[in-house]
Chain A
Amino acid sequence: MPKIKVENLTKIFGRQPSRALPLVKQGKTKQEIVKETGLTLGVNQASFEVHAGEIFVIMGLSGSGKSTLVRLLNRLIEPTEGKILIDGTDIVSMNTEQLQEARRKKLSMVFQKFALFPHRTVLENAEYGLEVQNIPKAEREAKARESLALVGLGGWENSYPDQLSGGMQQRVGLARALANDPDVLLMDEAFSALDPLIRKDMQDELLELQSTMQKTIIFITHDLDEALKIGDRIALMKDGAIVQIGSPEEIMTNPANEYVERFVEDVDRSKVLSAENVMKRAETITLDKGPRVALQLMRDRGVSSLYVVDRKKTLLGVLTADAVNGAKQEGKTLEDVLRTEVPTVGPQTLLNELFDLVAFSDIPVAVIGEQNRLLGVIVKGAVLGGLAGKVNHENPLPVDEEGQVNKE
């Protein structure tokens, strides 16, 4: 069962919002609805599932409804229609007490502008979520200290928020959210107000924390680089509707429509695409062949080198045209002129780590998988092609942990 399951979640702002519902269901756009009824469609029939331990990024430009969507999840904004199932329980149908209980135990939130209480110390801020549950002072203080230590703020307990830098303030925000040990963390543009270097640090730290905490995180951002970096999966929003959901690579390589395509156009592809996205099929030969066969093969395929593999496709080395020519004239076997020092990379290596290797190698770089199995080769042109947006779709799609292919 997914941790969070959202079904047809809709929010319409304005008086008597339900009168616009039929229009929403007819598939009218936000613009058409505001023209006909004067009502604003905030979120348009959003449906998605989030699995336990996943970082699910909701991305969109300002006004796309992403901040509204995250506030619907803990009902800071009341949904007009739809269901939000967390562990199978519907948040939307809860009464006030049940909702308070869910907010206290299951859902915590981190805010864009930190939203720290200025009249409380760092420690008292971190305690807040426990304090409203009437947990005894000693216990909540211990938990809050633990949580502050986790985000690297040990020693700052008695400072006030305005004495801290932006990055540190958001750590307090994170510590406050983690102190009551929620299952689900809602992060609304949590790092957007920080300057770029601090933001990068916070992203790294979040990923590190997440590797031990395994929370279910819903992360809102307008920054595609951030989404690609921290998201296990990304949902792209436009005009209140979810346009595409997929892994970072799927969004990059297979944009669902023109909007997504434009969105991902400017992204630094070298940080997203990996070796397997740009590699070509390797021209291979086995060692039982002779030099003449090798030369003929090179001529046929128009290449100046051949990778040598065994029957299990294990990489043994490489043969260059010069070496094979020499072998033919001197009567040597292919094995005698085999070059075993070959530049290799793994299939998940990011493009930006490949530049040096590819640029200074006189032969194509080999991409090898488990047990040295040769998967493909990377030539200079392929890297450039990848940067320009030309991606190999014939390649196997990325595989997730369970070994299933992520195909939408």
Chain B
Amino acid sequence: MSQLIPKLPLDEWVETIVDGLDEHLGFLFDAISTGIGGTVDLFNWILTGLPFWLIIILFTLLAYRAGKWTIALFTFIGLLLIQNLGYWEHSMETLALVLTAGLISVVIGIPVGIWCAKNDSVQKIVTPLLDFMQTMPAFVYLIPAIFFFGLGKVPGVIASVIFAMPPTIRLTNLGIRQVPADLIEASDAFGSTYWQKLMKVQLPIAKTTMMAGINQSIMLALSMVVIASMIGAKGLGADVYRAVTQIKIGEGFEAGLAIVIMAILLDRITQSVGKRKKA
């Protein structure tokens, strides 16, 4: 059927915009690239620099402090298994990517979430953006990410952040909005300033909900690393990707299992952080 209205050249527009950005804001992208790359390298240096048994002990202790002994036991056995299978280094590379993406999501997500909670117009603008970020197929982010930042870990982290940040923003916003109105009134009635109200009442009460958001962000970041490996981010994702393209079932299972172990570990530890205090 012939088109009555000619097709909107949306693809051309987007490309023009992206070209323009690259031309004029190149220095900004370089700075971001250096920052992210540096953070990933730092995490990587720590995680792979220390002997594996020390890392395993540290994580086991962390899991024990954060939650129950069962989680500690799982952490201990799970990490030993990863080491035994020979995926230690790749797992630590993945962890460095996830931690960087998680950190950036929190650093940007929480203030944006607070802003949304305090201002209805901001919320109205941000909510559809978040919908866009979450529903646009994750692969699509990889294209501009490569364009601006080249191949490797940096575009991988950026794509992960875009994909992983929405839950932190959403649940920070929700957590603060759900603080009972009479507590806000009480806080105001005693003459609290804006910041006192936020720091002493709203954030502490919203904490559990916010932690659920951060937990989700970290899990999404982990799920994104497999996809990010398509553009050259190293780690477990690359192993899975290779196994898929070469149809190596056994290897794929091992690498996949390592990701699952990392996921459960990160999930349980971050979850219990939110629930702590008050026994």
Contact = CB atoms under 8 A, between A and B. Distances in A.
B191 A131 contact: no
Contact of B201 (A104, A109, A117, A160): A117
Q: Which of A103, A108, A119, A128 has the most CB of B within 10 A?
A: A119
B196 A132 contact: yes
B189 A76 contact: yes
Contact of B192 (A71, A74, A132, A180): A132
Contacts of A131: 200
A396 interface: no
B185 interface: yes
Nearest to A182: B190
Contacts of A116: 186
A333 B193 CA distance: 84
Contacts of A176: 190
Interface in B171-200: 180, 182-183, 185-193, 196, 200
B35 interface: no
A343 B192 CA distance: 60
B273 to A, nearest CB: 15
Interface in A85-106: 99-104
Nearest to B204: A119
Interface residues of B, number: 20
Contact of B183 (A100, A112, A115, A160): A115
Interface in A126-181: 128-129, 131-133, 160, 176, 180
Contact of B186 (A104, A115, A119, A160): A115
A118 interface: yes
B186 A111 contact: yes
Given A111-B182, A111-B185, A117-B183, A128 B190 contact: yes
B224 to A, nearest CB: 33
Contact of B191 (A104, A112, A119): A104
Contacts of A113: 182
B205 interface: yes
B278 interface: yes
A102 B188 CA distance: 11
B25 to A, nearest CB: 39
A180 B190 contact: yes
Contacts of B201: 117
A74 B190 CA distance: 10
Contact of A108 (B183, B185, B189, B196): B189
B204 A129 contact: no
Contacts of A99: 191
A100 B190 CA distance: 8
Contact of A76 (B180, B188, B193, B204): B188
Nearest to B183: A115
Given A118-B205, A119-B205, A131-B200, A104 B183 contact: no
Nearest to A103: B191
Contacts of B187: 128
Interface of B: 180, 182-183, 185-193, 196, 200-201, 204-205, 207, 277-278
Which 8 A-B pairs give the minimum distances between C-beta atoms?
A104-B191, A103-B191, A115-B186, A115-B182, A109-B189, A129-B190, A100-B191, A119-B204
Given A115-B180, A117-B204, 15 more contacts: A76-B185, A76-B189, A102-B191, A104-B190, A109-B185, A109-B186, A113-B182, A115-B182, A115-B185, A117-B186, A119-B278, A128-B200, A129-B190, A132-B191, A132-B192
